[in-house]
Amino acid sequence: MSSIEEIDTDETFTSDYKSARKDEIDDIITATTIAQKKMENSIFEKLSSTDNGNIIEKKKILNFLMNGIERIPMSHQGLDSSKVWISFWILNGLDMLDSLDSYPNISSRTSKYLSILQNDDNINSNRENNQGGGGFGGGNSHTSHVVSTFAAVSALYVIGTEESYKTIDREAMYKFLMRMKTKEGAFTSEDGGEYDSRTTYCAIAVASMLNILTPELERGVADFLLSCQTYEGGFGAYPFNEAHGGYTFCSVAALSILNSLHKIDMNSLHRWITFRQSNDGGFEGRTNKLVDTCYSYWQGAVYIIIQSYFNYFKNQEQGEGKVEQEGLLFNQNKLQEYVIRFCQQSDKKYSGFSDHPHRGKDYYHTCYGLSGISLSQYNEIGKVIQSLNTFTNTFEQPSPPITKKSANTFTISKNNNNNNNNNNNNNNNNNNNNNKNNSNGEEQLVEPIHPIYNIKLSKCEKGLKYFYSLNSMHSNNENK
């Protein structure tokens, strides 16, 4: 094998690179730089406009979402395998705006439709390439898929009635999840399907929501997820993949459910995600990629899980209740400005959120845009992370409820920043001084959601209480 001295090096290239002027490097044109320039131009146009400002146009967003319950636009009609996800995006969006429960017959309609997507344990045993039933498909007559199953269970949680809870066949679900389990500790998407940290999170989240998370189901899962953390600090889809915001959320959230956050290289993760908030205010999913509205939830939730983890140890050192919450680890003001001011797309009747300022609104980005706004508005939302495992073990609510009446909130629509948000005050006073919104700050609050499940806190707590009042799957097996 060649020695180091024998390896040829391009000294001319190295010398030229070191002496190159900064503007010459910055002028390198790629598809990403072109898209970034287009986005910056769109943001500049929004900043120059007096329309909308930093106001969440709730009535128009509700019109957009409610219209989707009755009819889907042509742009979405090709998404047959995503029907269950479209249902969740719309229902969850309405619930975050506190307007779902009053919709006529929404519980019976949703429960009946999603029951059609649930695959019966007996019927599906005869299907080719399917060894059994359980779980939900993405659309009518589709075989069960772990990710679609998570969407269906989440949608039924959002409905939050006994009728919706009883739609779920927990025994068949447990069999389905065990069938998806791999020797690596991951979960495949479907019979014969792929596996990654996303499918694994969906399986663990469903199991924890339904009180069927047994030691057998957990075995090896944390080790697989930990192997997905990269040298950058974030997590990839599976080992040796590039760090990605969506997969980072899935890994970190699942490890939080499994009480295994202490096994993460947390400092490396914190460093990686700190650099994911761009000057535009939004979060990017990967290094040197464009920001996207949906990452206001995927990345925003990771920040909150990290902060909750650090605060837990501070409380251990300083004493419970002595750690003051001084705002979140990311720039809340800039994030809300990106989502609300730059990516809210409105016309005379409808409003919603897009991924980028120059794109059209859709249900996906409207849902996760609202989710990101919600997370950024409640400075103490991390307390529910610390309480999750305590709740599932004791069936009690261990922390005070976080509601829109909570004092420690932050909205960009307020004329002055929240006094507790010193980390935002330094750079963003000008934004608030220019804000001409006279509406009450509380009117601009979105309902608080659980960072791990993306479900309104009150519905999440209600669902957990219901399913943890039932026998766990482990107890059922012991009694047989």
Catalytic residue positions, numbered: 244, 286, 289, 292, 294-295, 355, 362, 365
Per-residue HEC secondary structure of the chain comes to CCCHHHCCCCHHHHHHHHHCCHHHHHCCCCHHHHHHHHHHHHHHHHHHCCCCCCCCCHHHHHHHHHHHHHCCCHHHCCCHHHHHHHHHHHHHHHHHCCCCCCCCCHHHHHHHHHHHHECCCCHHHHCCCCCCCCCECCCCCCCCCHHHHHHHHHHHHHHCCHHHHCCCCHHHHHHHHHHHECCCCCEECCCCCCECHHHHHHHHHHHHHHCCCCHHHHCCHHHHHHCCECCCCCECCCCCCCCCHHHHHHHHHHHHHCCCHHHCCHHHHHHHHHCCECCCCCEECCCCCCECCCHHHHHHHHHHHHHHHHHHHHHHHHCCCCCCCCCCCCCHHHHHHHHHHHHEEECCCCEEECCCCCCCCCHHHHHHHHHHHHHHHECCCCHHHHHHHHHHHHCCCCCCCCCCCCCCECCCCCCCCCCCCHHHHHHHHHHHHCCCCCCCHHHHCCCCECCCCCCEHHHHHHHHHHHCCCCCHHHHHHHC
